Structure 1
Amino acid sequence: MKYLFNRTYILLSNLQSKIAFYPTVFAIFGFVLAFLMIYVENMGASKYLNDHFPSLVVDSGNTALSILTACITGLISMMVFSFSMVMVLLNQASSNYSPRLLPGLISDKNHQIILGIYLATILYAIFIAVSIQPDGDNYQVPGFSVLLGIFLTVICIWAFIYFIHNISQSIQINNILDKIFKQAKKRLNFLLKTEENEDQDFPETTDWYEYKSAKSGYFQNLSSDNLLDICREKETQIEILPVKGIFILNGIPLFKSKKELDEATVKKVISNFSLARGELVSTNYVLAFKQITEVIVKAMSPGINDPGTALNALDYLTELLALRMQKQDKQFLKSDDKVLIKMRSIDFEELLYQVLAPIRAYCKHDIIIVQKLGMIFFYLKTQKTVKESYYTSIETEAKNLLADARNAIKNKADLEKLEEIELRLNLKK
């Protein structure tokens, strides 16, 4: 049961990132609600309402059909406009910032829920309209259902107003960066809370049994509880070979086991790896570094030339790097105080290089950006860290930046600024 629950949780987590997930759920709700209301009408709901609150009931079939038809037509127009606005948002984000931002924007629950409310109300109104008999007596007109349809339409109008407000906020780069930052910070804080900072006793895995991936995709998530149960059941230990977030190709080594596992167990272990064709910051904090880096690079490209956006993005990047300095490069999962699973995380040195190498390439000629990077290096050197080697990596990247900047900058005043950065970072021998 626990295994089934964890697998279902991973599946639902992946489905929630799809733009059609919440609209589909709401559409099913609207369909079911329509038939439920038809059943309630057959039980005499409209007759009761007409006897006690006659002013709320539409007792004319033609009038009811006209109202529902107007609601359906208006809601379809609003839904088309709203969907078009979402497409405009995605196109602008892809063109001006980075295509890698699209999965996060598509998975915005607010937009999905609003589209879902539209769909649910449209389906509800359609099926209620079908049940109306214009030539019947008063009590054959589903007046209560029509009243509910009007109420749902009012909710859709409110949702449309909120959508206009939300879409105008979502399209701003500061809000996009803030959302990425909060998701990555939440993920990093979660990993820090569950991390064992002291050295762990885990054996050498050179001679362990190696098992390969049966399919390809981005390594998004891992059902750790299920794997711990398997390790306890088979009395073995496991090393996860790929780093979370990378693209796993079919047939490459996926994990190692201390004991040889039968085919059924291997399939069970592999089924706990969540592989998908997209990436999400909520399950892989490294993606946030990639996205923010790409925003900086795109902002400093000749076609965009927006150093203000680059400076804002560097602020978010600084705090995430400072938080990452508190995390180990390796992660261990324990059960009953015994380490059963070893997982790899991207090294801080490699992460820092991947982040700063493209930034150096596009920003080395801009003294304002270089000064900002110098302040970032100084700030990171003052932060608490779990490994002293992280400071060495920071100094190395600072030297690389200054070397590239000196080759790109020729102005004497700007070169003096570079000297000040070098002195402040204490890089002169």
Structure 2
Amino acid sequence: MKNIKLSKLWDSLHSSYWFVPTLMAGFAIALAFTMLTLDQGEIPGLINKLGWIYTGGPDGARTVLSAVASSMITVAGTAFSIVLVALSLASSQFGPRMLRNFMQDTGNQIVLGTFIATFIYCLLVLRTIRGGEQTIFVPQISVTVGIVLTMTSIGVLIYFIHHASTSIQSAHIIGEVGRDLNNAIDRLFPEKIGQSFPELKHRFTGEIPVGFDQEAAPVLALHSGYIQAIDDKKLMNIAKSKDLLLRLNYRPGKYVVQGCELMRILPGKRINEKLTKQINNAFILGKERTDQQDVEFCINQLVEVALRAISPGINDPFTAIRCIDQLSAAFCRLAER
């Protein structure tokens, strides 16, 4: 696996509701200052040629931007409330494991980011409008861009209404989990595994020594948590540079307790505090399981949805059948590798 830590960082950002809205808010700030710079330039001819540019006075500009800003923050609050309702429904009906899939929904993040970005843009432009008797300044281009952002936000709101109603349907949720399972299989079990390469045809592979368990020394875990990923390249580099034989005792998805035996190395006399820290740094621990290197996590998600569906309180066998169909397709895909 390449760039394990970067992949973990991207997975954490992708599963958060602050990353995309923050980026879009930063873009709105940059856009506001750029448009205001254009408005302060000497381009009256350009404004006269473009008939669709806003040409009203300062009072009209204030009214338009104030109305847009107040409506955007209201719609953003309503959209966030709908997202919370969807998360609560998913947790109660499909299980708490499914919350991660909803948190990774890029569509909801873009919707919230669009409303927040439009609100910030209108506020920044609104503060520059001057309508005194001596100095009058109306950022006509900036106001026009604000109106365009408003139209865009209306389109995003229409998309959000449709997206919110379809994202909580069982068929959609099961299909998304099945897609994540297939992606995990393709990522962790590529088709080239098992095919011999000409340059590796006559490569010698040694066997594990008979007295490995007696001669090897344990490497203890320095922290507790779920193993989300293992940097196998880093472990291979450590093993080659120090001429070690490593045997993992835990795989991704398992929970390790601080002080437990993380792995065993041979020869055991070479273990020291520095080597223990280097090996522990190759294990990425977290508070929850992820599908980064854990295929079983997606399987457990489908199993949990199926079990909840056939429980006496829900009694929905067709949802369980959909889960079985996804699992069957995934196992057939995995058996071909």
TM over 0.5: yes
Change (3 A) 1:293 1:147: same
Q: 1:6 to 1:323 in 2, by over 3 A?
A: closer
2:200 matched to which residue of 1? Answer: none
Q: Give distance in 2, aligned partners of 1:226 and 1:38.
A: 50
Change over 3 Å in CA distance of 1:324–1:136 after alignment to 2: farther
Shift of 1:96: 1.6
**Would you say how many aligned residue pairs link Structure 1 and Structure 2?**
323
Cα separation, 2, equivalents of 1:228 and 1:22? 36
> Is it true that 1:254 corresponds to 2:262 in the alignment?
yes
Distance 1:283 1:89 in 2: 28
Match of 1:288 in 2: 298
The 5 Å alignment of 1:167-246 reads 167-193=164-190, 195-196=193-194, 201=206, 203-204=208-209, 205-206=212-213, 207-246=215-254
* SS, match of residue 229 in structure 2: strand
What does residue 31 of structure 1 align with?
Answer: 29
Structure-1 residue corresponding to 2:93? 96
Letter aligned with residue 263 of structure 1 = E
Change (3 A) 1:32 1:136: farther
Q: Which amino acid aligns with 1:216?
A: S
Query: Separation in 2 of the partners of 1:142 and 1:250?
Result: 60
Describe the shift of the 1:52–1:271 C-alpha distance in structure 2 as closer, same or farther (beyond 3 A): farther
Q: Secondary structure in 1 aligned to 2:308? A: helix
Report the equivalent of 1:278. 288
Distance 1:101 1:50, change over 3 A: same
Q: CA deviation at 1:139?
A: 7.0
> Structure 1: which amino acid aligns with 2:155?
W
CA distance in 2, matches of 1:309, 1:106: 22
1:50 CA displacement = 2.4
**Residues 58 and 146, structure 1, Cα contact 8 Å, conserved in 2:** no
- 5+ residue gaps, structure 1, are 328-429
Q: Which residue of 1 aligns with 2:121?
A: 124
* Aligned equivalents of 1:228, 1:42: Cα separation in 2: 59
The answer to whether the 8 A contact 1:71-1:153 is kept is yes
Is 1:112 aligned to residue 109 of structure 2?
A: yes
Equivalents in 2 of 1:78, 1:200: separation in Å? 63
Structure 2 residue 76 is matched with structure 1 residue 79:
yes
Mark the CA change 1:150 to 1:224 in structure 2 (over 3 Å): closer, same or farther. farther
Q: 1:157 aligns with which of 130, 150, 154?
A: 154
Q: How far apart are residue 159 of structure 1 and its match?
A: 1.1
Separation in structure 1 between the aligned mates of residue 45 and residue 4 of structure 2, nearest angstrom: 47
Distance in 2, matches of 1:297 and 1:162, equals: 32
SS, match of residue 56 in structure 1? coil
Deviations 1:25-74 (A, max 9, x none): 222222233233333433346x4542432541334221111111111122
- Does the Cα contact within 8 Å between 2:4 and 2:230 map onto a contact in 1? no
Residue identity opposite 2:24 in structure 1: F
- Residue by residue over 1:273-321, the C-alpha shift from the partner in whole angstroms, topping out at 9 and shown as x without a partner, is 2222233335422111111111111111111111121122111122223
Identity %: 27
Q: CA deviation at 1:171?
A: 0.8
Q: Closer, same or farther in 2 for the Cα pair 1:224/1:25, shift >3 Å?
A: farther
Q: TM-score, normalised by structure 1?
A: 0.68
Deviation, structure 1 residue 175: 0.9
Q: SS of 2:247's equivalent?
A: strand
Partner SS for 1:131: coil
Offset of 1:201 from its aligned partner? 4.4
The alignment partner of 2:290 has SS state of: coil
Match of 1:362 in 2: none
Supply the distance in 1 between the matched residues of 2:111 and 2:145 (Cα, whole angstroms). Answer: 18
Q: Would you say 1:143 and 2:140 are equivalent positions?
A: yes
Greater shift, 225-234 or 152-161, is seen at 225-234
Q: Which runs of 5+ in 2 are unaligned?
A: 197-203
Calculate the aligned-residue CA RMSD, in Å.
2.7
SS of 1:19's partner is coil
Match of 1:311 among 321, 325, 332: 321
CA contact (8 A) 1:60 1:138 kept: no
Measure how far apart 1:212 and its partner are: 2.1
